[in-house]
Structure 1
């Protein structure tokens, strides 16, 4: 009986060791599975039925440099990080705002864009500064750092917003601005600048940004066996920053570039 138990334990230990390095597994399979949502333009979105955006371009470069294919797995944002934890994919394209709380649960890549929170408002409404959301119906996306900062900012106003609606995707909130159900939504400055540029007759960016300076990164698993994979992704991202590929992609999708640290060790939020 004891021999069988030792044999079973040894077999389990061998299985764990055989899959103890995520980079080795990805390279052996020739495929890296990447989870994301497709309602977060210009990072990931659907254009004329095709998945496109900054993340597609960045991970195309990562795949080329690693010599692997990229397999995309898309779902609502509320399911993306749980999907990562459940092992449905190797890394998240997301991206996600790098926060102190999230860094306790995930290993973040080198930043790929600024993530400071600002407001997208209806073009003809009277919201000209962030403080003008007082008494207005506004929105944010469930489970996002942008929503958390919006709620904190709203609590500082003498007159709070009449409501803060939560949305599964930002596209739903943009549709509600266009239809007049809400007057503004909080999202990162790069995202809303892109949206406003596409439909300036419907949307406008409210300046200045009200959020704390923050950055977007790609979340990965924090367990030691995933360190090699995240190290490789960082190596490629830093190379892209150094050789100008990242700046070219930022200019393509945001119309501007960002000064970013190589790593975030102490987030501002």
Structure 2
């Protein structure tokens, strides 16, 4: 009986153990595989020449450069982000991913590296700093969205909220001057700022924060530590601010850490 148990234990020990792509493995391999958005401009999309471009793509390039390894970009859609990490299809996910307790059961999150929020946006010469300043102005938003629910709760009497059927109609109403203030996600505002720089579109106030975090596979502790130092270094050095200015048309705001 004893010999049978010993043979069984030996057999178990001989089974292959899945390799973890932690920091040392990436450095040894000389390549880092990073999941980036497939079609979520301005964070990640295909450029005119078929190359991947965007905020998250630039951050991925900076990660590879600082690791001193080659970069392999892996386009992902939302539902692929966590499974790709869990199955070693990618080493990191930089794909405008918010952190929440449910996701944290499956993967680890770095400090935040990018702003993602809903806010009120208007021309630079319009004096707005709080919901009270919207009184007497026409505010355009998409009906039934998070922005609609949040602004309806906080807007005082006298704010004219004009609701549109979809985001395209909302953006069109703002750019054509039908409304004075746009309430939307910062990515939609960035799109307008890029197409119409003369407006001088500004973030007037934030309605709801949902910053983006880098996803790391559970157990890759050294890699997580490195990524957090990387984010801190690029915040202090101004590189993340430059990426934010380039793709979102705004300075990098204060971002949360763990």
Q: Which runs of 5+ in 2 are unaligned?
A: 122-136, 155-161, 173-181
Q: 1:21 to 1:41 in 2, by over 3 A?
A: closer
Structure 1 position 216 matched with structure 2 position 212: yes
1:196-207 equivalences in 2 (<5 Å): 196-200=192-196
Q: Is this contact kept in 1: 2:37–2:43, CA < 8 A?
A: no
TM-superposed CA distance for 1:86, in Å, is 3.4
Indicate the residue corresponding to 1:33 in structure 2. Answer: 33
Distance in 2 between the 1:151 and 1:5 partners? Answer: 62
Q: 1:206 to 1:56 in 2, by over 3 A?
A: closer
Equivalent residue for 1:235, pick from 226, 229, 232: 229
TM-superposed CA distance for 1:206, in Å, is 10
TM-superposed CA distance for 1:193, in Å, is 2.1
Q: Is this contact kept in 1: 2:21–2:88, CA < 8 A?
A: no
Q: Deviations over 1:161-217 (max 9, x none)?
A: 99988xxxxxxx659977xxxxxx98631x12221124459xxx8976663234221
Distance in 2 between the 1:233 and 1:210 partners? Answer: 27
TM-superposed CA distance for 1:254, in Å, is 2.2
Indicate the residue corresponding to 1:170 in structure 2. Answer: none
| TM-score for both structures, normalised by structure 1 | 0.66
Structure 1 position 264 matched with structure 2 position 257: yes
| TM-score for both structures, normalised by structure 2 | 0.69
Distance in 2 between the 1:84 and 1:67 partners? Answer: 21
Q: 1:162 to 1:42 in 2, by over 3 A?
A: closer
Structure 1 position 55 matched with structure 2 position 51: no
Indicate the residue corresponding to 1:195 in structure 2. Answer: 191
TM-superposed CA distance for 1:85, in Å, is 3.1
Distance in 2 between the 1:47 and 1:152 partners? Answer: 34
Q: Is this contact kept in 1: 2:96–2:114, CA < 8 A?
A: no
Larger Rg computed on CA atoms: 2
Cα RMSD for the two superposed structures: 3.9
Distance in 2 between the 1:207 and 1:256 partners? Answer: 8
Indicate the residue corresponding to 1:247 in structure 2. Answer: 241
Equivalent residue for 2:17, pick from 15, 18, 26: 15
Q: Is this contact kept in 2: 1:128–1:206, CA < 8 A?
A: no
SS at match of 2:253: coil
